[in-house]
Structure 1
Amino acid sequence: MDMNPKSGADAQALPAPHRSAKEIWWNLMDNYKIGIIPLPLFILAGILIAIDCKNGKLPSDIVVMVATFAFFGFACGEIGKRIPFLGKMGAPAICATFIPSALVFYKLLPQEVVHATTQFYKSSNILYLYICCIIVGSIMSMDRKVLIQGFLRIFVPMLCGEIVGMLVGTAVGTLLGLGAFHTFFFLVLPIMAGGVGEGAIPLSIGYSSIFHLEQGVMLGRILPIVMLGGLTAIFLAGALNRMGKRYPHLTGNGQLMPGTDVDGVGPLQSAFSGKIDATTLASAALLAILLYMVGMLGFKLIGLPAPVGMLFAAVAVKLAHGVSPRLLEGSQVVYKFFQTSVTYPILFAVGVAITPWSELMAAFTVENLVVIVSSVVSLVATGFYVGKRIGMHPIDVAVVSCCQSGQGGTGDVAILTSAERMQLMPFAQIATRIGGAINVSLGLLVLANVLMK
């Protein structure tokens, strides 16, 4: 016999318990959010930003910028999440980047916000803080065996993908009447050049010297192609994420190598013991920053890009058991914080400060789009196929292949956010920076030799 007076039919007749105003407010704070921001705090942030803008100046200090980036970044990401179908295909990352760019171009974003965001982004180099915490945290989360095998094997699908992508893109452009020379050097090569700072700019400098034209003119032709290639890669990364959810046997959900047990603190998803204190978190963040400084030193000494130098330094520390399991766990918590809380704000800043909407729109011709899409799709499909053939998780390898046609560090962030595989950031950096540098160097060498004949 059931002695519970609130069970059965009697329970249905009981009135709902009265909720106090405090409970309603707490429920609103905990269960209604824009991104990670509770709705009341989101509304308050919008009001405070509007008041500052109405007073004629939005301060560009870090305190105000954190609130501003979070407000606009998560708002744009939320819009992307709510787009039917595309919301699960990378639209949040795309919206967080390109909606701000469009708002700036059409003067719909307050000039105070534009000025403060651009000034803070360019003076603080906050993107590199984000990247160093993501890279170090993801490396510290990896199994040592997976780390070694992954770095050795990833070059095979990368190389095969680039060869196939270049051949397919050039062939398609030639068939469309663009000419093999123009297609390869002004469409295909910029896509795989490694982004803006490490790719488009060095490429434009080389082109300006070889063609005896202004660098700005060459950069204006190259930059929109780089952006469209990155946009295509973001969509493909989102599609790969959906494929992984439908066919889980094809993905390691951020792990390149199947069939390995994780040592030390365990995989990222289950590594948190809940015993990490504030001092450990601070030490882990400092570890990431110091490793980036090691990368900067490497750049000064041998010219290796700082993020790549930092990546190699972090790998060496991991393989040598250079940090304790507790600090490894702290690095993973720092990684998780930046992944969940900083990604969309960073993408908003990128969209406002360095993403020119007019140049992106100027490159939207049918021929350009067909060449770009065919190049990126063939690159990614080759990475998928080759990765599967050599015993790697094909979807995760294909996501890294997407980064070969991204916009440098910012593109890696957007692509891996779209794919929900931020753990792949170390491999993405190799694909983007090392692969891009090789492509630019070889491309300029070939171009110079072709024009000399």
Structure 2
Amino acid sequence: MQNTAVLENEQSSQYKLMGIEMKYFIPITIVVFVATYLGVLPKGMLGAFPLMMILGAILNEIGNKTPIVKDYFGGGPIVIIFASAALISYGVIPENGKTIMTSFMKGEGFLNFYIAALITGSILGMNRKLLIKAALRYLPVIIGGVACAILLTGVTGALLGYGFKKAVFYIAIPIMGGGMGAGAVPLAQMFGQAMSKDPAELLSVMVPAVALGNAVAIVVGGILSKIGKKNKNLSGDGKLLKDQTNDIGGQEKETELKISFENMGKGLLFACTFFIFGKMLAKYINLHPYALMILSVAAVKGTGLIKREYEQCASQWFQFIMKNFTPALLVGIGVAYTSLDAVIKAFSPTYILLVFTTIIGAVIGTAIIGHLLGFYMIEGSITAGLCMANMGGTGDVAVLSASDRMELMPFAQISSRIGGAFMLILTSALLKFFL
């Protein structure tokens, strides 16, 4: 028995990537890379998936182990995007590898496939009561932060000669959009369609803003925590609401659906159907399909039209996709949508100042509206402001850790999920207004 325990201990302590021991991961990597360099990597998902998954796993590990980068700039996701773009720009990955991955992302619809799973699973997977209560009380605070961030950044951009619309659409909205997969990437698709521009060009300007905005949000989270300690009237010491009897963070207990292959298959079907439904609605309603998909999923969730069992199936499918394919997706973003030259050209003192302006605007707006609705100003700014401006799930953890308020995670998740979805809907409407 003791020998068995020791053996299990040794096995669990072995270094792994993607949960695979290195004695297996290395040969797999060699096979895929050699096939790429020999020009025999299969086209389509059969070749794209292994190449993107391996690159994503390696670069993600590097990013999550690199000091400063892992703590302030988003860690793995940022390294995956920029390193992938660099590998293409400097010819480290041969042209055939680039072509296969780019085609898979754009022509074969992997990006839309991922976004469909993300939107459907994240919204249907939420607690229904929490969603409804959040819409009534928490979302107005988010809207206040978004409005202030957009207005302040737009005006600052106009005064500095950067341009009101450019500052709003290229910097403020991407930062407040909920990260990469649910924010900058679909936003670039929407902007590209509305402006008749290449999404790759737009994303190259947005990605640096999202990365820098994430870093600034984490630092500001720590600063707000210190302000809260010195000004007790502004902080609830981790409690969001002044009215403690109205706690929208509580969640009803429910029986979790057993994870199974069949359930994930059901979830896949629901995700794809909602995406198709959004495309159908876009034929008759002048909004982007992503926005219409979000509205339809939220309406179905809010009205309880789908059995909870199937909602959990969609959530399981989303969790599977997110866990296994997020690094691969980020590789695709780096390869197909990120130009290092455009990224370098985007950086300037004005650009950096506008990123800071966006974060400050989010803090001010949520503090004011939150105060009027009975929220503590510090906690309201952290959850509805900074957790909108960071990079989604990993950003939520970083911001709440820096501000020492991990107990506010349910609200941070609302900002990342529902707040990010709201930004896509808002952007679709703003594009119709401004363009």
Distance 1:364 1:39 in 2: 38
Determine which of 147, 164, 179 is the counterpart of 2:131: 147
Determine which of 56, 63, 67 is the counterpart of 1:84: 67
Aligned residues: 390
Residues 1:184 and 2:164 aligned together: yes
Q: Secondary structure at the match of 2:163?
A: helix
Distance 2:91 2:293 in 1: 39
Distance 1:128 1:328 in 2: 20
| CA apart distance, 1:142 | 1.9
Aligned position for 2:395: 418
Aligned position for 1:397: 384
Distance 2:259 2:330 in 1: 29
Aligned position for 2:98: 114
Aligned position for 1:75: 58
| CA apart distance, 1:79 | 1.0
Q: Secondary structure at the match of 2:93?
A: coil
Listed one character per residue, the Cα deviations across residues 34-77 of structure 1 (whole Å, up to 9, x for unaligned) are 24444333212211112212322322222332211110112111
- Is the contact between residue 77 and residue 96 of structure 1 (CA under 8 Å) also seen in structure 2? yes
- Is the contact between residue 204 and residue 340 of structure 2 (CA under 8 Å) also seen in structure 1? no
Residues 1:434 and 2:434 aligned together: no
Distance 2:318 2:414 in 1: 9
Listed one character per residue, the Cα deviations across residues 174-214 of structure 1 (whole Å, up to 9, x for unaligned) are 77xx33xx432333443245632213553x45xxxxxxxxx
- Is the contact between residue 276 and residue 326 of structure 1 (CA under 8 Å) also seen in structure 2? no
Distance 2:99 2:386 in 1: 34
Determine which of 367, 385, 398 is the counterpart of 2:367: 385
- Is the contact between residue 144 and residue 369 of structure 2 (CA under 8 Å) also seen in structure 1? no
**Structure 1 runs of 4+ with >6 Å offset:** 240-248
Distance 2:307 2:55 in 1: 38
Q: 1:436 to 1:158 in 2, by over 3 A?
A: farther
Unaligned runs of 5+ in 2: 175-186, 229-236, 398-411
RMSD of the TM alignment (CA)?
3.7
Residues 1:231 and 2:236 aligned together: no
**Identical aligned residues as a percent:** 20
2:361 corresponds to which letter in structure 1? Answer: L
Distance 2:84 2:389 in 1: 23
Listed one character per residue, the Cα deviations across residues 85-126 of structure 1 (whole Å, up to 9, x for unaligned) are 331331211112111112211222232321211111111221
| CA apart distance, 1:296 | 1.4
1:291 corresponds to which letter in structure 2? Answer: F
Residues 1:49 and 2:32 aligned together: yes
Distance 1:423 1:66 in 2: 31
Bigger mean CA deviation after superposition, 294-303 or 385-394: 385-394
Aligned position for 1:298: 281
Superposition TM-score, scaled by structure 1 size:
0.73
Q: Secondary structure at the match of 1:160?
A: helix
Aligned position for 2:318: 335
Q: Secondary structure at the match of 1:124?
A: coil
Q: 1:99 to 1:41 in 2, by over 3 A?
A: same
Superposition TM-score, scaled by structure 2 size:
0.76
| CA apart distance, 1:376 | 2.1
- Structure with greater Cα Rg: 1
Distance 2:414 2:19 in 1: 20
| CA apart distance, 1:361 | 0.4
Alignment of 1:166-245 (within 5 A): 166-169=150-153, 172-173=156-157, 178-179=160-161, 182-192=162-172, 195-199=187-191, 202=194, 204-205=195-196, 224-236=204-216
Bigger mean CA deviation after superposition, 391-400 or 279-288: 391-400
Q: Secondary structure at the match of 1:322?
A: coil
Listed one character per residue, the Cα deviations across residues 395-434 of structure 1 (whole Å, up to 9, x for unaligned) are 332255327xxxxxxxxxx544433566655424434322
